[in-house]
Copies of this chain bind each other. A is one copy, B any other.
Amino acid sequence: MKETYAGVRARGGEVEELARRRGFLWQAYEIYGGEAGFYDYGPLGARLKRQLENEWRLFYSLEGFYEIESPNIAPGEVFRASGHLNCFTDLSVVCKGCNSFFRVDAANGIVAGGKCPECGGELVAAGEFNLMFQTRIGVPGGDVEGEKGEGYLRPETAQGMFVNFQRLLRFNRDKLPFGVIQVGKAYRNEISPRQSLIRLREFTMAEAEVFVDPRDKDSHPGFDTVKASVVLIDPAEGEGGALSIEDAVRSGVIANEYLGYHIAKVKEFLEKVGIPGERLRFRQHRKDEMAHYARDCWDAEFLSERYGWMEIVGIADRGDYDLSAHAASSKEELSVHTPDGKIIPHVIEPSYGIDRIIYAILESSYGEEQVGKDKRRVLHLRPALAPVKVAVFPLLNREELKREAREVFHVVRRELIYVEYDDSGSIGRRYRRQDEIGTPCCVTIDYQTLDDRTVTIRNRETMEQRRAAIDGLVRELKKEMERIRDSHV
């Protein structure tokens, strides 16, 4: 059934309303009027986020990647070398009518001489702004190490891995290729962030840097395991469409096996956490939109009902740009000795925007259906990501049922941790509350429980209930969650 565009936009809005109301996501500093570009993850959102980050770590750890954690603040030298202080800028325009500033964004008609989206006034050029947040390290004039004190908040986690290249290479016993990951905050002082989670000034990235001998980029040892994967490709030049990774690489649409391998892995991960493959495409950057460090870049884009196609992951070939730049600036050797001489490794970088992926997961998971007179809202989250795994209810508000339910709650929580107890309101209302936050299983204690020590387990997807013994309940709940997980595939 086709929906009108307005209907679809409204539905996007319902997800955001639910996320706010139920404690997934909150505009930050609201008691002080809110601060644009900053968000809080509430109790349910923080759990979803943590679990997503851990799934991501697991995914790349199984590929043999090492995780590191480097600081959010870096001295100026790092970003002078990396090019961010010179090149990491956005053009802005200002409205002559209402004084609002906007980032120049030709796709949305925001250019000098256009009309202001707020008041219809004329937009005029207002200059280039660097997107780095600046700060000062140390007491003015007062540090024994003689540091100059110019500091910045990182705009990507990647530089922390590049400046540690020598140590990481040694950790890997001087062999290429190897992969390093980092999950953490990054900061971009956007000119006028307006779109909730989509354009934040402080956000979370999960980045992987693959260091590879440039002569090996055309043959990835794991290529056979991904070559049959089919992805929707939108290349900068020539024909795209649904292609197998193998065809895309062999025909030159994707430049090399390393890029192809990592594009396939990105798709695999996004599907694993609940984003449908049919709402994903891989779009190659056009020459005029490439970041200063990239020689090739593909965006994984998610088709949002509310925002249209939006970038959620970038897979860049950074070549030897960063290592060469830091080697030149620091006068340290950031190269590798191979039997055929000294080389500077190339870097392939899958870079995930965690907040946008969370938005994409929430939007793709959200469903509504009419049940009698009620609207049933459900988040069809993968059980691994659900912020509450199990909710335990007494069927009725009677002391003997509540006592038993609390005992079951404590037993289940000891193992599954994220478990809730709820005895307020009708049982139907309690099921709806849990459906809305994506809780896979509800356990209900009734009078039969007191007789035969069995409870009901309700499955979020089928709404079916079955009886199970309290003895062995955790095992049964795990099985039920596996069923829900498998029903998604």
With known contacts A28-B70, A77-B32, A139–B145 Cβ distance under 8 A? no
Q: Can you list 22 pairs linking A and B with CB atoms under 8 Å apart?
A: A28-B70, A29-B75, A35-B75, A36-B147, A40-B70, A40-B71, A40-B160, A42-B167, A43-B180, A46-B66, A61-B417, A62-B414, A73-B153, A73-B202, A92-B142, A99-B144, A101-B139, A101-B142, A101-B143, A134-B136, A136-B189, A142-B192
Residues of B within 8 A of A28 (CB): 70-71
- Taking the nearest CB of chain B, how far is it from the CB of A159, in angstroms? 10
A129 within 8 A of B: yes
A23 within 8 A of B: yes
Interface centre among A58, A61, A142 (most CB of B within 10 A): A142
Q: How far is the CA of A28 from the CA of B77 in the complex (A)?
A: 13
With known contacts A142-B94, A142-B191, A189-B138, A42–B68 Cβ distance under 8 A? yes
Residues of B within 8 A of A142 (CB): 92, 94, 101, 126, 191-192
Query: Nearest CB to that of A417 among chain B residues?
Result: B61
User: How does the 8 Å CB contact mask read for A58-76 relative to B, with 1 for contact and 0 for none?
Assistant: 1001100011111111110
A201 within 8 A of B: yes
Q: How far is the CA of A66 from the CA of B387 in the complex (A)?
A: 11
Q: How far is the CA of A191 from the CA of B141 in the complex (A)?
A: 11
A418 within 8 A of B: yes
B62→A147 contact, CB < 8 A: no
Interface centre among A39, A70, A139 (most CB of B within 10 A): A139
Residues of B within 8 A of A40 (CB): 68-71, 160, 164
B418→A61 contact, CB < 8 A: yes
Q: Tell me whether chain A's interface is mostly helix, strand or loop, or mixed.
A: mixed
Out of B71, B99, B138, B201, name the residue touching A73 (CB < 8 Å).
B201
B31→A163 contact, CB < 8 A: yes
A contacts, CB < 8 Å to B: 23, 26, 28-29, 31-43, 45-47, 49-50, 57-58, 61-62, 66-75, 77-78, 92, 94, 98-101, 118, 126, 129, 133-139, 142-145, 147, 151, 153, 160, 163-164, 166-168, 171, 173, 180, 185, 187, 189, 191-192, 201-202, 326, 329-330, 332, 334, 413-414, 417-418, 424
Out of B41, B71, B168, B334, name the residue touching A69 (CB < 8 Å).
B41
Out of B35, B73, B100, name the residue touching A187 (CB < 8 Å).
B73
Residues of B within 8 A of A334 (CB): 31
Query: Nearest CB to that of A334 among chain B residues?
Result: B31
Q: How far is the CA of A133 from the CA of B133 in the complex (A)?
A: 11
Q: How far is the CA of A66 from the CA of B243 in the complex (A)?
A: 45
Interface centre among A58, A73, A134 (most CB of B within 10 A): A73
Query: Nearest CB to that of A142 among chain B residues?
Result: B101
Query: Nearest CB to that of A190 among chain B residues?
Result: B138
- Taking the nearest CB of chain B, how far is it from the CB of A330, in angstroms? 4
Residues of B within 8 A of A143 (CB): 36, 101, 192
Q: How far is the CA of A118 from the CA of B145 in the complex (A)?
A: 12
With known contacts A35-B147, A413-B62, A137–B71 Cβ distance under 8 A? no
- Taking the nearest CB of chain B, how far is it from the CB of A220, in angstroms? 18
Out of B50, B58, B71, B164, name the residue touching A417 (CB < 8 Å).
B58
- Taking the nearest CB of chain B, how far is it from the CB of A417, in angstroms? 5
Q: How far is the CA of A467 from the CA of B374 in the complex (A)?
A: 62
Q: How far is the CA of A176 from the CA of B175 in the complex (A)?
A: 56
Residues of B within 8 A of A29 (CB): 74-75, 77-78, 163
A137→B189 contact, CB < 8 A: yes
Query: Nearest CB to that of A134 among chain B residues?
Result: B135
Residues of B within 8 A of A164 (CB): 26, 40, 42
B160→A75 contact, CB < 8 A: no
- 5 closest Cβ contacts across the A-B interface? A43-B66, A101-B142, A41-B69, A31-B330, A100-B144
